[in-house]
Amino acid sequence: MLPTVPAFGGVPGGPELLIILIIFVLLFGVPLVVIAGAVLFLTLRSDDEPDADRIAELEAEVERLRERVSDEPEEADGDDQSSAQ
């Protein structure tokens, strides 16, 4: 007689595949959606305007310091040359 139990256990059908799909969605889909939502929220929440103001302020400060540094060596060089002559 032929055995009634298959030798390799059977191929998953519709309900089994649906359960596997639900498990994959819960394990991988939900965290991906949460991470994407957090990134989108933080991107939309950040304002670029305060950063632009801060950068402009720092650039102006750098220019003032460059002018001060470029003026000081000229004055020092002028003093050294007049005393040497």
Selection from 64, 61, 42 nearest residue 53 by Cα = 61
Selection from 61, 80, 82 nearest residue 72 by Cα = 80
| Structural domains in the chain (count) | 1
Residue 6 counted as domain residue: no
Task: Give the whole-angstrom CA distance, residue 69 versus residue 79.
Answer: 16
**Residues spanned by the domain of 38:** 20-79
Residue 15 counted as domain residue: no
Residue 7 counted as domain residue: no
Q: Residue 12 contacts by C-beta under 8 Å, 6 or more apart in sequence?
A: 20
Task: Give the whole-angstrom CA distance, residue 26 versus residue 34.
Answer: 12
pLDDT for 27 equals: 95
Grouping H, G, I as helix, E, B as strand and the rest as coil, residue 8 is coil
Residue 3 counted as domain residue: no
In order along its 85 residues, the chain shows pLDDT tens digits of 666 666 666 777 888 889 999 999 999 999 999 999 999 988 887 766 667 788 889 999 999 999 988 887 655 555 555 555 4
Residue 27 counted as domain residue: yes
Residue 69 counted as domain residue: yes
